[in-house]
Amino acid sequence: MFKKITVAFAFLFLFLLNSCAVQQKSLSMNDWYAFTKTSSEKLDPSKIYEFADGMIRMHGENIGYLMTKKSHKNFELSLEFRWNIEEKFNRGNGKKNSGVMYNIPVDSPDNIWPKGIQFQIKENTTGDFIFLDKVTAKVNGKLIEAGASVTSPKFSANENPYGEWNTIVIKSFNGKITQYLNGKLVNECVEASSVEGKISLNYEGSPIDFRNIQLKNISKE
């Protein structure tokens, strides 16, 4: 009897392990298409951005983004970013700016920038919410109008120095969203009007690297 229970437990463990593996995936170059300010159609990502050494390196003159081909709902997205400070990519001393967008409706047209919710990546304000193109949500019980951002004075203390990697986690579940930076909660909202959609990595003119992009389905907040 003990042997049967042990075998059954082993099969159950393998089943749960495999289930987790199916739910979480690393996003690769084949999961994205590129779009830029000067284009009017979807582009091959490898012709716009650099995929090397396990990183996506976004730099150059033309702003734009990488967009997932598929829509996602009720997910946890994690990734790492760092500002690219190599001198050959330097584009001036302005405030560095980028972002990760999500819950971009599949019927929303490609443009700079599309409808959705943004995790703002910006010098000293990384972690802001930005709600674009009629998307709304409630933060601390207050309805935030479309086009507005939600900030916190604590964000600058959560960022790592230039050249070091930072970790972002975004959890979106049925309109409740939490955003984390380097393990710290930096923003949250409820009743978001956009609850599913595509995901984008934005290039807004500041050279930036991304890596370890992981996406998994979640079944609770």
Amino acid at 84: N
Q: Assign 60 to helix, strand or coil.
A: coil
Q: How many angstroms separate the CA atoms of 120 and 79, rounded?
A: 14
Using a pLDDT cut of 70, give the percent of the chain over it. Answer: 87
Q: Give the pLDDT band of residue 5 (cuts 50, 70, 90).
A: very low
- Residue 19, pLDDT > 50, answer no
> Model confidence over 55-98: pLDDT tens digits?
999 999 999 999 999 999 999 999 999 999 888 888 777 789 99
Q: How many angstroms separate the CA atoms of 12 and 97, rounded?
A: 46
Section 23-36 average pLDDT: 89
Instruction: Give all domains of the chain, ordered by start, each with its CATH number.
Output: 27-217 (2.60.120.560)
Mean of all residue pLDDT scores within the chain: 86
- Residue 179, pLDDT > 80, answer yes
Start-end of H helices in the chain: 2-23, 45-48, 155-158
Question: Rounded to a whole number, what is the distance in angstroms from the first to the last CA of the chain?
Answer: 39
